[in-house]
Amino acid sequence: MKRSLEELLPGFAVTVMSKGNPTSRIWFVLNPAGTHEADFRKSEELIEHFHKSPPERKEMGIVLLGSITHLEDPEAAKEDMTDHIRGVFSDPAALEMERSRVAELTDACRKKSIDLWINTDMKTDMKSAGTFVNLNDVNAVD
């Protein structure tokens, strides 16, 4: 199932960022106003923080913004990427690190039955309301 960013927010929004060193990636949690709320090195710490959040923020699960690991059309998405994200996208080692971090979070969310939404394009502003897919789909009916 696909959803727009508009449908997922104000939820529990997270992005992957580096603090100075591109090999040192952290989970950066955004509050409903879109500014820094907290950051964590480990997925388990992020999930612990998620569980302490108000129910209305947890309803849709975790929304991973700005990740480049599941783009449906990477070439088309490049025009919407920041220079930093474009740099990660063009660096095979950085891209593999990003994929590894997302896989780690996906597994951690799956173990705790938490939906994890990830963008399939780079349009993450409210005007274009990017497209997101649920990597875990814990509420799906088979």
Q: How do residues 23-56 score in pLDDT, each as one tens digit?
A: 567 888 988 888 889 999 899 999 999 999 999 9
How far is 114 from 56, CA to CA, in rounded Å?
14
Sheet (strand 131-134) strand order: 2-4, 131-134, 116-119, 62-65, 12-18, 25-30, 36-40
Q: Please report, for the chain, the start and end positions of each structural domain, with discontinuous segments joined by +.
A: 2-134
Name which residue leads in pLDDT, 111 or 35: 111
**Between residues 76 and 93, which one has the greater pLDDT?**
93
Phi, psi angles (nearest 5°) of residue 120: -110, 0
Per DSSP (E only), the strands in the chain are 2-4, 12-18, 25-30, 36-40, 62-65, 116-119, 131-134
Instruction: Kindly state the percentage of the chain with pLDDT values over 70.
Output: 75
